[in-house]
Amino acid sequence: MASAFSHIAVSAVLYASFKSETVNFKLLVLAAVCSVFPDIDVIGFKFGITYGSQWGHRGFTHSFFAARQEPSSPQKR
């Protein structure tokens, strides 16, 4: 089963493999945050939201819609 550590490990390996001016530490941090963001839904357990609920783990925050809503870094033009 994947964990927050294994999600971040992929980002870290890619950073180590392709480190450059473009692929820098800020990008590693952004990638790490984005990789664990869908798992923010586990907070719902504390509020009585069940695993199988639409708002439970692997519910809304694991959808394409939620992924699209996730903030991204601003682009310089």
**Residue 19 counted as domain residue:** yes
First to last CA, the chain: 40
**Residue 77 counted as domain residue:** no
Model-level pTM? 0.64
Cα 62 versus chain centre, distance:
10
Q: How far is 17 from 13, CA to CA, in rounded Å?
A: 6
Q: At what angle do helices 25-36 and 4-18 cross, to 10 degrees?
A: 150
pLDDT, tens only, 20-69:
988 899 989 988 888 887 787 888 888 888 888 887 777 777 776 666 66
Q: What is the pLDDT of residue 63?
A: 72
What is the band of 17 on the pLDDT scale with cuts at 50, 70, 90?
very high
DSSP state, residue 76 = P
**Residue 22 counted as domain residue:** yes
- Tell me which residue range forms the domain holding 20: 4-69
At residue 75, the 3 state secondary structure works out as: coil
At residue 70, the 3 state secondary structure works out as: coil
**Residue 49 counted as domain residue:** yes
Our count of domains for the chain comes to 1
Q: What is the pLDDT of residue 25?
A: 92
